[in-house]
Chains A and B, each alone.
Chain A
Amino acid sequence: MTDPAALRDVIPHEPGLWHQAAGRFLKRRSAVGSAALLLLVVGICVIGPLLYPHPYNQVYRDYILVPPGLTPRPDPTTIEKGFAKAVRDAGAKVVEYRIDDTRVVTAVVEARRNLDLDLMKKSLAIRGLFAPPHMTAEPGTSRAALTVATNTIVFPLGTDANGRDLLARIMVGGRLSLLIGLTATAVSLGIGVIYGAIAGYVGGRTDAFMMRAVDVLYGIPLLFFVIILVTFLGRNILLMFIAIGAIEWLTMSRIVRGQTMQVKAQEYILSARVAALPGRTILLRHVLPNILGPVVVYAALNLPAVVLAESFLSFLGLGVQEPMASWGVLVADGAGHMETSPWLLIYPGIALVVTLLSVTWVGEALHRAIDPKNLD
């Protein structure tokens, strides 16, 4: 008897299939680049809203359809007018007024009768324009010197027709679009793998019947069913996940069936059968792990189609509803205002296309890495 430990040193160490695939993936600069881009997009959408000051559904009534840019708002004239109004409301008038580059207002105010500093503080706070002021009354007069910082807001990508910040909506919309994409892909993966594996493994008449059913379904415009389903059964986001997943499994089941039939013919499956393992065990333990590669690749390549299906529905007003945002909702909203505010169409569109492109690139890179022999 040879010692197994000694054998291990003699036989050259081969890294596993997945290990090799990871190596191939990391070696290609384009693969790593697209994966980084995808991670960046996902990171911005997931973490961005936590760090960003504007909530996605906050309505700024004074800032409707603000064009994109980094100019802080409001502009100095608005600040001056707002300041004068606040001072007047507190029964005083502005004697001196100066605003510096950091938008800190230094002013001297004079009351008509008695200077009420508390009232002044409240009056300034009520407009939301100013931070709590620093005031010193000049003894013996009804004047006070006043230093106050302005609350400025920036809308990097502008605002929509309801005065909501576009960047916040794009990030939150991205979360939802990606979530729907992943969930629907998982649903389609589940149905497709189970269906295809059973058809391929059992074979014979069952297989013929199951695949004929897939052929029939292929001939039907299934997206119309999803529309019927979501409009008639109510706009439930969960329902939409499932409905989209339920129409995207057809190709997956064909791929899995083909792969299963290939694997089934191999000797190790034969020995598993000779060992009288139950069919379920063979399928789960020996067949499925060996067809995982193409399944992962196809799922990644199909993800854009799923995200597009969601956006398509939302664009038609049949999917995600306001005030929730998804990229489809934002594009539809942008299309409605494009003559006056093209940024509402362009930025969500860019977000959608860049994400789909990076997903596709990652999918193709995975294809090269995991399944190099099936490249066309």
Chain B
Amino acid sequence: MGFIYFLCKRILAAIITIAVTITVSFFLMRLAPGGPFDLGRIMPPQVQANLKRHFHLDLPIFDQYLIYMRDLLHADLGPSMVYVDRSVSSILASGLVATLQIGICAILLALVLGIAVGMLAAVSPNGLLSRLIVNLSMIGVLVPSFILAPLLSLILAFQLRWFAIAGWGDGSWYYLTLPVIAVALPQVGIIAKLMRASLMDVLGQMHVRTAIAKGLPPATVLVKHALRPALFPVISYMAPAMANILTGSVVVEQVFAIDGIGRYFVQGALNRDYTTVMGTVIVYTSFIVLFNMLTDLVYVLADPRVQVGVSND
């Protein structure tokens, strides 16, 4: 009962978040001066008027909003205002392949590597590795993907020729590796640091000391008794991590000239392609909100002490 109530509440909150985002970005864009047909190209006034009518840009803003929302409820994101004869849905579909692949690989890499390194560091808290991680993770956070990506590409792709310099090709590891590393590395540092701190905390707790005292082998204690409670801070960091990875992916797609959602978003913003920008914003927001919900669910399912339906602040 409690769980279903919690779920409904979360879903409702997610829908509200997405609706607020759509509304705010819609009005932000339309209220700004200059539309997709006012830039650069000079065209006869009649043509311009016809184009505006075709895309409903001649209507009052609020009517445009209602039309957009009505179409959205029919899962229609409208036609692109810049790419002739392409619907936003088809643009997004072609972009999602690359972006999702980079995003999912990056978050998996960050998780596996971050947890492993964090565990190693926590086992010997004053060792060299441990101190190295604390410092490296800070550098990892501060060396942003827009420096990391060109540097990696310069050394590993341009000098050593191990990986592709740019493009997506067939999407194999030859093209995928560098973008994934560039967005994942800063997150590896953060997750390792989180994991180290929380595991060190857990290792000092009573139940772990009891497990050691009754003579269990250290590896068993670590994996069976300490790991699960130590993972919670990492789980609650998953949603911000995903948001960071998606933001990083915007840069990485630009650096490696990969036609993902992020590139369409930036291009769309530069061209004032209203519908494409709206489409990418909707995809990003839904993805992050969904991921937020998912991590909350994992949290609740993994930790029986979290009381469902009670706000935790």
Residues of chain A at the chain B interface (Cβ within 8 Å)? 211, 215-216, 219-221, 223-225, 227-229, 231-234, 304, 308, 311-312, 315-318, 328, 331-332, 334-335, 338-339, 342, 345, 349, 352-353, 356-357, 360, 376
Contact = CB atoms under 8 A, between A and B. Distances in A.
Given A221-B288, A231-B269, A335 B150 contact: yes
A349 B144 CA distance: 10
B272 A232 contact: yes
A345 B154 contact: yes
Contact of B146 (A224, A233, A315, A376): A315
Contact of A353 (B143, B158, B243): B143
A334 B142 contact: no
B269 A227 contact: yes
B20 interface: yes
6 contacts: A219-B14, A221-B243, A221-B247, A308-B144, A318-B266, A338-B154
Contacts of A349: 143, 147, 151
Nearest to A345: B150
Contacts of B243: 221
A331 B151 CA distance: 11
Contacts of A339: 154, 158
A224 B289 CA distance: 14
Contacts of A352: 147
A36 to B, nearest CB: 19
A220 B146 contact: no
Contact of B139 (A221, A224, A353): A353
A232 B269 contact: yes
A321 to B, nearest CB: 12
Contacts of A338: 150, 153-154, 158
A233 to B, nearest CB: 5
Contacts, number: 111
B17 A360 contact: no
B281 interface: yes
B117 interface: no
A316 B150 contact: no
Interface residues of B, number: 48
Interface of B: 13-14, 16-17, 20-21, 24-25, 28-29, 32-34, 138-139, 141-144, 146-147, 149-151, 153-154, 158, 197, 243, 246-247, 250-251, 254-255, 265-266, 269-270, 272, 277, 281, 284-285, 288-289, 292, 313
B247 A223 contact: yes
A304 B270 CA distance: 26
Contact of A219 (B29, B270, B289): B289
B191 to A, nearest CB: 16
Contacts of B25: 224-225, 228
Given A211-B313, A338-B150, A376 B247 contact: no
Nearest to A352: B147
A227 B313 CA distance: 32
B146 A332 contact: yes
B142 A219 contact: no
A311 B144 contact: yes
B305 to A, nearest CB: 21
B28 A232 contact: yes
A224 B265 contact: yes
A318 B269 contact: yes
Residue from B149, B150, B285 whose CB has the most chain A CB atoms within 10 Å: B150
A316 B250 CA distance: 9
Nearest to A224: B281
Query: Which 5 pairs show the lowest CB-CB distances between chains A and B?
Result: A232-B32, A335-B150, A231-B269, A356-B142, A315-B146
A312 B154 contact: no
B221 to A, nearest CB: 24
Given A219-B17, A219-B288, A233 B32 contact: yes
A376 B197 contact: yes
Contacts of B313: 211
Given A220-B21, A221-B247, A224-B281, A316 B142 contact: no
Contacts of B154: 338-339, 342, 345
Contact of B270 (A225, A317, A334): A317
Given A216-B13, A220-B20, 14 more contacts: A219-B288, A220-B21, A221-B246, A221-B288, A228-B29, A231-B270, A304-B142, A316-B254, A317-B266, A318-B270, A332-B146, A339-B158, A349-B143, A353-B143
